[in-house]
A and B are shown apart, each in its own frame.
Chain A
Amino acid sequence: MDSVPAGLVRGQGQPSVPRICRWSPSFFQRVLLLVLLFVAELTVLSLWLDTASLSQSTGFLGIVGDWGAWVLRFILGFAAIFGTFAWLKHKAEIERISSKVEQTPIRWRLLAVHFLAMAAFAGLSSLIFVDGRSGRADLLGTSWFAAGISAIILGGLAFLPRAIWAGLVRATGYLWAYALIAALSACVVGNMGGRWLWKAATPASYLTFELTRRFLSLFVSGIVANPEKMMLGTQRFSVNIAPGCSGLEGVGLILAFGVLWLLLFRRECRFPQSLILIPFGVGLIFVLNAMRIAALILIGNAGAQQIALSGFHSQVGWMAFDAVAVAFCCAIQQVSWFTSRPQERQALARVTETPTGAFLLPFLALLTAGIVAKAFSGSFEWLYPLRFFAAAGMLSVCRRSYVGLTWRCDWLAPAIGTIVFLTWIGMDHLLNLNPGVDPRVPTTLQAPRLAKGIWITFRVLAAVITVPLAEELAFRGYLMRRFISANFNCVSFQSFSWFALLASSVTFGLLHGGNWLAGSVAGILFGFAVVRRGRIGDAVVAHATANALLATYVLIFRS
């Protein structure tokens, strides 16, 4: 091994040529390593520390209690926005800069100092969060903050030298400022907006109360209404219409969606006609919220109180938002009064005949069926078979589009599936995500024999057949290739980019809720399965194997 310091050739004092004797990963491998390191550290810290425990503190620790979690979200949001848009908008510059990075090895000493800073951060965290030390709190808090920031900077510099970071900032222009403003605004609005919204919601909740009472009076007599306490219902079942039920959240979402749509697609909209869709959408979602509460009371009055208060309560607000937003898009695209290009209406293809539709619709059917099934379930999702039929039906409708795909696989596909299964179970135990016995499994096993058999059969069929097909078509077939090119259908399944693989895998992982990390790892492995031979069949079989093993594990261990 050459012992000359990096950058020098022995005896000449001149800048060296790239040396191959040290491991020097590419730019994207370094970014991946850095992200993995930070994600691992963040996961441990999130499980260990709770900034809410400092809410009663004063001074610097009080600020950490109030804003600590938001500072973390700001850093994550800034990194996500900057990284995503830097890659999309400045791909060529980043590739040019990244070619230089391989001349510099990873700086292990800096990495060691990073770990020392993290150790100091962990020690100070233990004093502040666990022991609750209040003496010299500001000194402790400031040291804790400095150790955390130092650890981040040292980690960043260990993998990518300062010149590369400076080059990235220069190449991306003012993107850092836009990302900073966007992330900062989101955090300030998120932290303070909720309090302002709460004050504005009280008058709106009176209007919702009155609307709901009128809807109810169409279906039942003997309504119990107490406007002072905002209680509304029947003799058997009544609810309190809290400010959070006023409908303002849906109004805010539709307002944001509508304004964004009109701004981004302004050339396709006819103005000022299209502007009327904003108040129409806002009014519609407000009325739908009142109808939601009326339906909830009617369901509870009919005896299904658990359904009313759990599934229906949490899902129908989103269903209304999605329905109004999709109606908004369709109106601008298809109603000639709103569109600036009415001649294009005739040329619109059927959704099931477009490549995007063929790859995405089975997954969207799965999602829709899941939301509907949860809405009409109590604590247990008895309507799960709906997911199987919805995805199977949509796969059948789009089946002609899949003829050109390669569905073959080899031995490595089930092997990858087994690795995903072991990773999933390992992370589940390691992070203790689902402690104890899953309450749903005993509920299922206590059901009548026939119902139990039908439910478990469809649950396993969906896990092994329809879910792998729908999810692999959407995430590996569509999203991974879509991140490579807008014309995704012309991109070979063997085309590869780290950004496409990671972005599609993290999105896949996020849809697995608390198991997002295991889901992201699974997405990466399924992505490699596709890219290796360019066959979607490899990913589907790997996914099906993992799900089949998980189903077997759950049924055997009831966990």
Chain B
Amino acid sequence: MRKFLGISVELVFGLMLLILGSTTVSWATAVPEIDPSSGLSALALLAGAVLVIRARRRNN
């Protein structure tokens, strides 16, 4: 499995997206194109999709 600083790359990537998602909610300001209040669902969806796509490679 690929490692980055000794940690599974998928886990790092998924966690970064989750941290980004959670901070999006707490740092929310009203903006029209990317609405922070809906950001968590969208980022969770992306994090999940990335994990599923990556899992195809090692059939896990």
Which chain A residues numbered 335 to 393 have a C-beta less than 8 Å away from chain B? 344, 347-351, 353-357, 360-361, 363-364, 367-368, 370-371, 374
Which chain B residues numbered 11 to 54 have a C-beta less than 8 Å away from chain A? 11-13, 15-16, 18-19, 21-23, 25-27, 29, 31-35, 37-42, 44-46, 48-54
- Decide: A329 and B31 in contact? CB cutoff 8 A: no
Main secondary structure of the interface of B (DSSP, over half): helix
Main secondary structure of the interface of A (DSSP, over half): helix
Q: Which residues of A contact B33 (CB under 8 A)?
A: 244-247, 249-250, 289, 292, 317
* Per-residue interface assignment for chain A, residues 507 to 546, with 1 indicating a CB less than 8 Å from any chain B CB and 0 otherwise: 1001101000000000000000000000000000000000
Bound CA span A363–B10, Å: 19
- Decide: A513 and B49 in contact? CB cutoff 8 A: no
- Decide: B60 and A318 in contact? CB cutoff 8 A: no
Bound CA span A314–B52, Å: 26
- Decide: A319 and B15 in contact? CB cutoff 8 A: no
Given the interface pairs A265-B9, A513-B25, the reply to whether A330 lies near B46 with Cβ below 8 Å is: no
- Decide: B52 and A361 in contact? CB cutoff 8 A: yes
Given the interface pairs A318-B39, A367-B45, the reply to whether A487 lies near B23 with Cβ below 8 Å is: no
Given the interface pairs A322-B45, A367-B45, the reply to whether A194 lies near B29 with Cβ below 8 Å is: yes
A3: min CB distance to chain B, Å: 46
Bound CA span A333–B16, Å: 21
Bound CA span A357–B49, Å: 9
Partner of B57, one of A348, A355, A374: A348
Given the interface pairs A367-B45, A486-B11, the reply to whether A244 lies near B59 with Cβ below 8 Å is: no
- Decide: A354 and B55 in contact? CB cutoff 8 A: yes
- Decide: A325 and B52 in contact? CB cutoff 8 A: no
- Decide: B52 and A354 in contact? CB cutoff 8 A: yes
The chain B residue with its CB closest to the CB of A356 is B55
* Per-residue interface assignment for chain A, residues 251 to 281, with 1 indicating a CB less than 8 Å from any chain B CB and 0 otherwise: 0010000001100110100000000000000
B56: min CB distance to chain A, Å: 5
- Decide: A513 and B40 in contact? CB cutoff 8 A: yes
Q: Which residues of B contact A357 (CB under 8 A)?
A: 52, 55-56
* Per-residue interface assignment for chain A, residues 322 to 336, with 1 indicating a CB less than 8 Å from any chain B CB and 0 otherwise: 100110011001000
Size of A's binding interface in residues, CB under 8 A? 70
Bound CA span A73–B38, Å: 20
A238: min CB distance to chain B, Å: 15
A489 sits at the interface (CB 8 A):
yes
- Decide: A245 and B56 in contact? CB cutoff 8 A: no
A317: min CB distance to chain B, Å: 5
Given the interface pairs A80-B19, A361-B52, the reply to whether A321 lies near B41 with Cβ below 8 Å is: no
Bound CA span A18–B19, Å: 39
Q: Which residues of A contact B38 (CB under 8 A)?
A: 314-315, 318, 371, 374
A84-92, A110-118, A137-145, A155-163: which lies at the interface: A84-92
Given the interface pairs A88-B7, A245-B33, A354-B59, the reply to whether A474 lies near B52 with Cβ below 8 Å is: no
- Decide: A84 and B15 in contact? CB cutoff 8 A: yes
Partner of A510, one of B27, B34, B40: B40
Q: Which residues of B contact A487 (CB under 8 A)?
A: 60
Q: Which residues of B contact A347 (CB under 8 A)?
A: 57
- Decide: B53 and A85 in contact? CB cutoff 8 A: no
Residue among A315, A357, A371 with max Cβ neighbours from chain B (10 Å): A357
- Decide: A354 and B56 in contact? CB cutoff 8 A: yes
- Decide: B41 and A367 in contact? CB cutoff 8 A: yes
Residue among A244, A329, A354 with max Cβ neighbours from chain B (10 Å): A354
Bound CA span A325–B21, Å: 15
Bound CA span A478–B18, Å: 15
- Decide: B11 and A88 in contact? CB cutoff 8 A: yes
- Decide: B9 and A264 in contact? CB cutoff 8 A: yes
- Decide: B13 and A264 in contact? CB cutoff 8 A: yes
The chain B residue with its CB closest to the CB of A263 is B4
A441 sits at the interface (CB 8 A):
no
Q: Which residues of B contact A186 (CB under 8 A)?
A: 23
Bound CA span A265–B25, Å: 28
Given the interface pairs A250-B34, A348-B56, the reply to whether A73 lies near B41 with Cβ below 8 Å is: no
A127 sits at the interface (CB 8 A):
no
Partner of A73, one of B11, B13, B26: B26
Q: Which residues of B contact A350 (CB under 8 A)?
A: 56
Q: Which residues of A contact B7 (CB under 8 A)?
A: 85, 88-89
Q: Which residues of B contact A242 (CB under 8 A)?
A: 32
- Decide: B9 and A486 in contact? CB cutoff 8 A: no
Q: Which residues of B contact A489 (CB under 8 A)?
A: 60
Q: Which residues of B contact A85 (CB under 8 A)?
A: 7
Given the interface pairs A367-B48, A513-B25, the reply to whether A264 lies near B12 with Cβ below 8 Å is: yes
Residue pairs across A and B with Cβ atoms less than 8 A apart, 8 shown, are A73-B26, A85-B7, A242-B32, A318-B34, A322-B42, A329-B50, A364-B49, A487-B60
- Identify 9 new A-B residue pairs, CB closer than 8 A, beyond the known A77-B23, A326-B49, A333-B56: A84-B19, A194-B29, A246-B33, A267-B2, A315-B35, A349-B59, A357-B56, A364-B49, A511-B40
Top-8 shortest CB links A-B = A318-B42, A356-B55, A314-B35, A349-B59, A249-B34, A367-B45, A317-B33, A348-B56
Report A's interface with B, CB cutoff 8 A. 73, 76-77, 80-81, 84-85, 88-89, 186, 190, 194, 242, 244-247, 249-250, 253, 260-261, 264-265, 267, 289, 292, 313-315, 317-319, 321-322, 325-326, 329-330, 333, 344, 347-351, 353-357, 360-361, 363-364, 367-368, 370-371, 374, 474, 482, 486-489, 507, 510-511, 513
